[in-house]
Amino acid sequence: MEKKSFIDIDPESGFPIQNLPFGIFTPPGRGNKRVGVRIGDFVVDCSRLDTLGFFGYHTGGRKVFTRGSLNRFMSLGRPAWRETRTVLTNLLREENPTLQDPELREKLFYPVSDVTLHLPARIGDYTDFYASREHATNVGTMFRGAENALMPNWLHLPVGYHGRASSVVLSGRDIVRPRGQVLAEGAGRPEYIPTRALDLELEMGFFVGPGNELGQPIPIDRAGEHIFGMVLLNDWSARDVQRWEYQPLGPFLAKNFATTISPWVVTMEALAPFRVKGPDQDPPPLPYLARSEPAGYDIELQVELQTARMTAPQTISRSNLKTMYWSLDQQLAHHSATGCNMRPGDLLGTGTISGPEPGSYGSLLELTWRGEKPLELPGGETRKFLEDGDRVTLTGYCQGDGYRIGFGTASAVVLPAGIDG
């Protein structure tokens, strides 16, 4: 039987009863941060549901929903996540009268427009991968030629780097154009200036639930038990800074200034109906990375750009997570393969998600092919890279039968560089 909620929900809302993503919010005008679940245009207060006794039997009385982050709930593991989801689904069904009492609804449901949203987790560590073959091939072709586009290791392991967790910010917080060392074409010395090549990166991120002990890798066939859910992620990049600094140790200042994520964490249970096979991997991965089940996800992704002069955004890219070569479980298994200890709330980014066609590329570096083919925008404007006043918005969804699983947005405006310190 099709699941329906007593909350009126538009079929294209993205937040039907089949989704129920988790986030952190404060109610209008009062109260501390607490856990909420999004349904339609409302946030359900899980802390009050817990006080009423709906969750205590499977969270061990830990009061995980009164906390200002999802870390404690994420640490409980998949059985607790599933049971909580089952309780919420049953309470929100149209045939269940429990929460439909007007007085109770007033205490438990807040219009999402009235609440303040916060980062969903205390992010202890942030790692960004480079898992899209199309993206890696495009970038490699630009800088090394088509014959040497992929480095020798790329088809054998998920390449990644350790990012900066402190600068992960929530959608809606604007991004200040960073300064850094840039070596101009033909120049003998670098200069310290605002980046002239600020770029977006269309990514998704996933949060670690239960961690692992130091020295004990997470096996590939159990990696899914350690993944709580997913968000949209924009790993802003200063390409000119990156070009000068990245050898020999990779990105540093070019990516440490900001990473934007969406506020609602969509659980892997909600995404389970949208699992797909993913690309064939040749050569076959080493045994510690060999998958036995489909590990891709059919998630439609979109990038919109709106300049300060435009009255409406324009879609500049449409991509899909199912094209990503290295899967989420492979990324997590590889990250922990040395015995590196993962912790609840750790965030892992997929890296830029580019499809096979030019309109599906996930960065301006690719969409404009290093600035050689500028984007044409309404009103005669063009873009090679982002300018001050530009707003970038990432969206994503899975299309079900009569419903959508949405992720909301990861959006920010580019502000001018600050005063030279």
What domains does the chain contain, in order, with CATH numbers? 22-118 (2.30.30.230), 126-415 (3.90.850.10)
Catalytic status, residue 226: no
- By DSSP bridging, strand 198-199 and strand 237-238 are antiparallel
Cβ neighbours of residue 42 closer than 8 Å, sequence gap 6 or more: 7, 109, 110, 111, 112
Distance CA 99, CA 91 (A): 7
Distance CA 229, CA 85 (A): 13
DSSP 49-89: HHHTTSSHHHHTT--GGGSSSSHHHHHT-HHHHHHHHHHHH
The pLDDT tens digits along the chain (421 residues) read: 468 999 999 888 999 999 999 999 999 987 899 999 999 999 999 999 999 988 865 555 568 999 999 999 999 999 999 999 999 999 999 999 999 999 999 999 999 999 999 999 999 999 999 999 999 999 999 999 999 999 999 999 999 999 999 999 999 999 999 999 999 989 999 999 999 999 999 999 999 999 999 999 999 999 999 999 999 999 999 999 999 999 899 999 999 999 999 999 999 999 999 999 999 999 999 999 999 889 999 999 999 999 999 999 999 999 999 999 999 999 999 999 999 999 999 999 999 999 999 999 999 999 999 999 999 999 999 999 999 999 999 999 999 999 999 999 999 999 999 876 5
Provide the residue type at 305 as one letter: L
pLDDT at residue number 259: 98
Closest by CA position to 309, among listed 383, 372, 403, 396: 383
pLDDT at residue number 1: 45
Q: Which pairs from 141-146 meet CB under 8 Å and 24+ separation? A: 142/365, 142/369, 142/370
Whether pTM exceeds 0.85: yes
Q: Which residue among 135, 226, 334, 335 is the active-site one?
A: 135
pLDDT at residue number 11: 84
- The tokens of 65 are what? 């929903």
